[in-house]
Structure 1
Amino acid sequence: MASFLHLDTYLDTIERAAQRRDGRTLASLLSLSHQHAENDRLCVENPELEVSGRVNPPWQEVVATHLRTAWSRRRGAFDEAFDCQTIIVQAFSRAFQAMESENWPLPVMLTLAVDLRRLACRCAAAGYGKKPHEHLEKAADSIMGLFRVCASDSRATMEKSKKWGMMGLCNQLFKIYFRINKLNLCKPMVRAIDNLVWPKDRFSLAQAITYNYYTGRKAIFEDNFQDAQKFLSFAFHRCHRRAHSNKRQILIYLIPVRMLLGSLPRQQLLRKYSLLQFSGIATAVRSGNVLQLKQELERNEQFFISCGIYLILEKLRMITYRNLFKKVFLILGSFQLDIAAFTAALQFLQEEDADAELTQCIVANLIYEGKIRGYIAYQQQKLVVSKQQAFPSIFACGSN
């Protein structure tokens, strides 16, 4: 799209796009990422008079306030720009709700929501607000208002329904709620999208990838690792092969989930996406080396914590115990195993406070989780294991 030398030309182009119901062009003309938002001729403090003479309702307030937003942003007044963008979203919400059986402005709606979230992030980074996350929470409230407008559209046909805007808005809210650590607020949105009666594959692939990425992360924190693997795998395999950084970001969460379900990553994959932080973890789990697992977690602690996966990786400790105890079982070649043998193995690997009581506790948990088939004979201080698959595949007990 060509740059604009004069405000009148810009306003006439907006009016023509609105008359043609060209949502994509109008969205671009109202985006703070478009080149016009850097043009001093168009960033006007009080553009109401010019706008009212060239743009018809209901777009007058949206366009005028957009130019004021761009003006404030150019001055570095991000808090003022955020307030103006909030007014734009609210004005658009009222106008959009009044449009019956029309959804052509959906690209405009998503653009306005994205800009509002980005301005909220700039305000948060600059330390604006009386309390933490104030602007992000306000942005979420405004975007949720748009989400309700879309979700409540029950009269229009499928092709003209505003509900096609729900997933894009949901993704913006995901980004906010994950940042402010309020994942519980995601549930109503996910439920609303799950309850849609038409096929979910009708949403754009880009939106579906983002949606599955965040629903996968949400499932991780709910300890629903089977769903997490399904959603994150969808996001990874559908993500464009050249989107290397995006695929790497997905793998940061998919790799721990797959390890918990019994599938360890290949070195080739870790090297390709520069995720060798998981290499030592995978080796430790595979070999049952609880000492190495502890050392690898400590060595890469900062990375794992920053990604929010440290506690998830801690759960690999039980699989590592299982693999260690399976080695003891294979070495002894008996179905009645002294608890002392497991204790000796733990002590050899410098497990802290390893004694008979701790060992029995670990074994009991492994039996409960289905990672060992057997029972503890407490009087004899032995583990009696099944003669059929005493140590089942992790895949068989991955959902526990």
Structure 2
Amino acid sequence: NVILTNHIKICQTLLYKSRLNDIVQYQYSLCRSLLDLIKESKNKNWHIPILILTLTDLRLLTNYFTSYISRHTDGNTSPPSQRIADLSIDNDRQTSETNVTKTIELLTEAFRVCTSDRCTEQRLSKKWGAIQILNQLLKLCHRIKRYELGEQLLSFAEQSLEFRHYLLEDQKMTYDYFLGKSYLFKDDYRKATECFDPIFQRCPRFMKKNKASILIHLCVSK
């Protein structure tokens, strides 16, 4: 079982603090195998929560490589988590760009697999996972300033994904945040305000960084 094998390899590399590059490759292989399994499953969507969880982990691991790219471009970088910082890292710009590109491509493919599902029964549809995967993709695209891809997928989601209205609160806030930024890029300040204003009110006070970011964009939109 490829999925189980790669999961065991990830656990081993974390245990012995092996190279981050190896962990990313194992996580990518795990996600790829799971996505291939989902493609073959007709009228079933029980795999989707597992896929979202593994893709989220892959995106978080890939964040380190986006920081490495940023150091070579504009000097801005976010420090890696302690868990990642403890790992052995043998890295260069080309490796970073390769890992980031592969993750973006896999997230995009997963999004398209979910949105193209033809199952008519809502509870069995894979479309339920599309927005959560899109949120992960948007976080990564905005981190490396690849806004054009996010714009295309957001436009598609707004036009075609009826399930976006049934998201959990945190996922809905994330989606509306990026949708608001999209409207800002288009100079549509009214719609941007309609996105930022509600999520600023709903964002918990203890999430100070998120609330501050929303407030900055809200001020710009007004």
Deviations 1:30-68 (A, max 9, x none): xxxxxxxxxxxxxxxxxxxxxxxxxxxxxx211210111
Structure 1 residue aligned with 2:2: 61
Greater RCO, 1 or 2 (C-alpha within 8 Å, sep 6+): 2
2:128 aligned with 1:187: no
The sequence identity of aligned pairs, in percent, is: 23
Counterpart selection for 1:136 from 93, 97, 100: 100
Which amino acid counterpart does residue 178 of structure 2 have in structure 1? Y
Distance 1:212 1:218 in 2: 10
Counterpart selection for 1:243 from 193, 201, 207: 207
| SS of structure 1 residue aligned to 2:215 | helix
Structure 2 residue aligned with 1:119: 61
Specify the structure having the higher radius of gyration (Cα). 1
| SS of structure 1 residue aligned to 2:39 | helix
Distance 1:191 1:149 in 2: 17
Are the structure 2 counterparts of residues 174 and 232 from structure 1 closer, same or farther at C-alpha, using a change threshold of 3 Å? same
Q: Which runs of 5+ in 1 are unaligned?
A: 1-59, 259-400
Instruction: Answer yes or no: is the 8 Å Cα contact 1:110–1:169 preserved in 2.
Output: yes
TM-score (norm 2): 0.81
Instruction: Answer yes or no: is the 8 Å Cα contact 2:65–2:97 preserved in 1.
Output: no
Q: How far did residue 201 of structure 1 move? A: 2.4
Instruction: Answer yes or no: is the 8 Å Cα contact 2:151–2:182 preserved in 1.
Output: no
Counterpart selection for 2:14 from 73, 82, 95: 73
Q: Which runs of 5+ in 2 are unaligned?
A: 69-90
Q: How does 1:317-356 map to 2 (within 5 A)?
A: none
TM-score (norm 1): 0.47
2:36 aligned with 1:94: yes
Distance 1:166 1:253 in 2: 25
Instruction: Answer yes or no: is the 8 Å Cα contact 1:147–1:170 preserved in 2.
Output: yes
> What is the RMSD computed on CA atoms of the aligned residues?
2.0
Q: How does 1:247-286 map to 2 (within 5 A)?
A: 247-258=211-222
Which amino acid counterpart does residue 134 of structure 2 have in structure 1? C
2:114 aligned with 1:150: yes
Distance 1:111 1:129 in 2: 27
Q: How far did residue 232 of structure 1 move? A: 1.3
Structure having the higher helix fraction is 2
Structure 2 residue aligned with 1:83: 25
Which amino acid counterpart does residue 64 of structure 1 have in structure 2? T
Instruction: Answer yes or no: is the 8 Å Cα contact 1:129–1:135 preserved in 2.
Output: no
Structure 2 residue aligned with 1:210: 174
Deviations 1:344-364 (A, max 9, x none): xxxxxxxxxxxxxxxxxxxxx
Distance 2:141 2:45 in 1: 26
Structure 1 residue aligned with 2:125: 161
The count of aligned residue pairs is 199
Distance 1:62 1:79 in 2: 18
